[in-house]
């Protein structure tokens, strides 16, 4: 283990150097944060207590509403995760990477550390911006303390869990994308595949009329299950509880990474 630590540190440094020199990285971070905050602000602006029988009867989960923009921002994180591996296959530099670090397991682990770190930073910025938007917009739409809606605060346990879980969600999406990109070795194909995997379940659920099947799709779909972590009210009505739901997404990410690693180890560069 002592000998492996310096190797891993050097591999992570190398992968971070490659990742931060990707010209699109600043744009992807900006898009991830911007789409998350703007998407959340749009959702917040569309809801008003005047649409409810009485202000106190909206029963709106204001924390979840404030984090809605993650549905959009995650697309940029998918591209980030895929590019970490796909760009090397596209440019042919994967051969140089393996010449410098022959252990393919170490290469993938280093990429996973670098990619997840960037995704987590984007998640923190996006979540904080979305919660700030919630604090600014919600009171003007009638979601005030007088009407039974306390201001959003990370000092509140459920809100903190939803915020931290959303950040972890983006990190897992990045790892899922990296695993798929490693398996398919094609940037466009990997991006398309991951986006379909994330968004197909809620789309199909919306087309299915059977409530039992709707709950099954929400329970086992990576996005809907993973984003159950954002719920802070009526938890007993959810198809899957917040942390187990995030565990579903973690399972998808783990399977993608293990599949990618197995194929990475047996194929030519």
Indicate yes or no: pTM above 0.75.
yes
Q: What is the structure's pLDDT at 101? A: 87
Position 208 scores a pLDDT of: 87
pLDDT at 137: 96
pLDDT of residue 135: 96
Q: Please tell me the distance from the alpha carbon of residue 160 to that of residue 48, in angstroms, as a whole number.
A: 24
The domains of the chain are located at: 4-266
The pLDDT score that the predictor gives to residue 1 is 45
The string of pLDDT tens digits covering residues 221-258 is 999 999 999 999 999 999 999 999 999 999 999 999 99
Hunting for tokens 């010209």 — which residue is that? 23
Angstrom distance (rounded) from CA 247 to CA 240: 10
Nearest alpha carbon to residue 65 among 152, 193, 187: 152
In this structure, what token pair is assigned to residue 255? Answer: 């399977």
Nearest partner of 61 among 71, 47, 82, 79, judged by Cα:
47
C-alpha–C-alpha distance, residues 126 and 30, integer Å = 9
Q: What is the mean pLDDT of the chain?
A: 93
Question: Buried (b) or exposed (e) across 83-101, using 16+ Cβ within 10 A?
Answer: bbbbbbbeeeebeebbeeb
Which residues of the chain fall short of a pLDDT of 50? 1
| DSSP 3-state percent helix, strand, coil across the chain (nearest 5) | 80, 0, 20
pLDDT, tens digit, 9 for 90 and up, residues 31-47: 999 999 999 999 999 99
């Amino acid at each position: 283990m002592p000998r492996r630590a310096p190797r891993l540190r050097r591999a992570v440094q190398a992968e971070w150097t490659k990742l931060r020199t990707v010209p699109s990285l600043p744009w992807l971070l900006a898009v991830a944060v911007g789409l998350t905050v703007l998407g959340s602000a749009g959702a917040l602006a569309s809801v008003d207590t005047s649409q409810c029988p009485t202000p106190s009867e909206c029963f709106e989960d204001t924390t979840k509403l404030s984090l809605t923009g993650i549905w959009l921002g995650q697309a940029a994180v998918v591209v980030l995760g895929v590019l970490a591996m796909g760009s090397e296959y596209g440019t042919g530099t994967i051969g140089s990477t393996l010449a410098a670090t022959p252990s393919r397991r170490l290469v993938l682990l280093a990429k996973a550390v670098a990619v997840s770190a960037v995704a987590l930073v984007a998640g923190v910025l996006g979540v904080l911006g979305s919660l700030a938007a919630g604090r600014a917009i919600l009171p003007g739409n009638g979601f005030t303390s007088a009407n039974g809606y306390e201001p959003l605060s990370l000092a509140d346990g459920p809100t903190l869990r939803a915020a931290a879980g959303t950040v972890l969600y983006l990190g897992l999406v990045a790892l899922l994308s990296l695993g798929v990109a490693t398996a398919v070795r094609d940037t466009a194909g990997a991006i398309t595949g991951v986006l379909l995997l994330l968004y197909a379940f809620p789309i199909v659920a919306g087309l299915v009329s059977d409530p039992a099947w709707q709950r099954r799709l929400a329970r086992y779909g990576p996005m809907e299950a993973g984003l159950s972590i954002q719920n802070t009210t009526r938890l007993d009505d959810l198809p899957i509880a917040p942390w187990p739901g995030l565990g579903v997404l973690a399972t998808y990410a783990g399977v993608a990474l293990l599949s990618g690693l197995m194929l990475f180890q047996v194929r030519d560069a």
